[in-house]
């Protein structure tokens, strides 16, 4: 069984993870982390910076009551600096937090979302805040009908609140859980929790066989439906359109 075994006729809606799946958050984060590391004279590769950032974010996202995502990012940056025994200015910390809405979409994202929107109802389940996602959503062409952020859920994935709320919002539109396909690249944040609720999942393998984990948290969760990019996803799910 593989991705091509997915029947588009089985679904009326797609929900997406955003950062890492639609948005190149590794490139966005490195745009701030890399100059800081170089300025500190750190002999640290990109993957080391990213893996430390991923772990620090995951730590910060477990704090209750939750921090808003820009504060999560700023606190994670401070954790990274402390782990390297380096200093972090308030300006650098704020620069990373402010940059979230500027992180770029992957090259295939916007066109693929446009194609998919012609056939399916679209939603996003994102671990960021409302204000940051509003900037990102504009970059994506505002395709999402259902939007669930960490501000809305009151927690961060892999907690289940995002998924429950997304399912509830699509139910209001007359779309049952069984008719929703959840699309994400993170096994830890998305595939594991979504699968536990009985959602069908497709994973976008944005790492593409590169060494290291980047911003991914290790997880054994998997789906038989794995695709290399958003263009491939749209081509398959929209193959009988037009």
Domain ranges of the chain: 3-24+105-237, 26-102
Angle at 76 between CA 74 and CA 80, to 5 degrees: 115
Q: Which of 53, 57, 69, 60 is nearest to 150 (CA)?
A: 69
**Mean per-residue pLDDT for 161-177?**
98
- Is residue 43 annotated as a catalytic residue, yes or no? no
pTM > 0.85: yes
CATH 1.10.150.750 fits 26-102, yes or no: yes
Are the C-beta atoms of residues 60 and 72 closer than 8 Å to each other? Answer: yes
Q: Do 3-24+105-237 and 26-102 have matching folds?
A: no
CA distance 208 to 27: 15
Q: Out of 5, 7, 17, 102, which one is annotated catalytic?
A: 17
Q: Read off the pLDDT of residues 190-238 as tens digits, 9 standing for 90 and up.
A: 999 999 999 999 999 998 878 788 899 999 999 999 999 999 999 999 9
Query: What average pLDDT does the chain have?
Result: 96
Token output for 116: 């998919």
Is 3-24+105-237 assigned to CATH 3.30.540.10?
Answer: no
């Amino acid at each position: 069984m593989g991705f091509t075994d997915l029947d588009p006729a089985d679904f009326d809606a797609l929900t997406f993870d955003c950062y890492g799946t639609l948005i190149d958050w590794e490139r966005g984060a490195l745009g701030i982390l890399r100059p800081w590391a170089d300025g500190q004279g750190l002999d640290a590769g990109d993957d080391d910076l990213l893996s430390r950032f991923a772990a620090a974010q995951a730590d910060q996202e477990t704090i209750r009551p939750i921090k808003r995502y820009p504060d999560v990012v700023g606190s994670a940056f401070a954790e990274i600096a402390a782990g390297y025994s380096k200093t972090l200015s308030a300006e650098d910390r704020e620069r990373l937090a402010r940059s979230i809405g500027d992180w770029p979409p992957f090259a295939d994202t916007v066109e693929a979302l446009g194609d998919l929107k012609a056939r399916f109802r679209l939603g996003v389940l994102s671990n960021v805040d409302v204000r940051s996602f509003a900037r990102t959503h504009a970059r994506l062409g505002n395709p999402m009908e259902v939007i669930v952020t960490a501000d809305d859920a009151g927690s961060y994935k892999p907690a289940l609140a995002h998924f429950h709320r997304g399912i509830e919002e699509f139910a209001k539109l007359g779309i049952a859980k069984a008719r929703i396909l959840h699309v994400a690249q993170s096994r830890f944040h998305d595939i594991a929790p979504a699968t536990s609720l009985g959602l069908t999942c497709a994973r976008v393998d944005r790492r593409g066989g590169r060494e290291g984990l980047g911003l991914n948290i290790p997880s054994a969760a998997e789906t038989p439906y794995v695709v290399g990019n958003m263009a491939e996803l749209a081509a398959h799910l929209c193959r009988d359109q037009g």
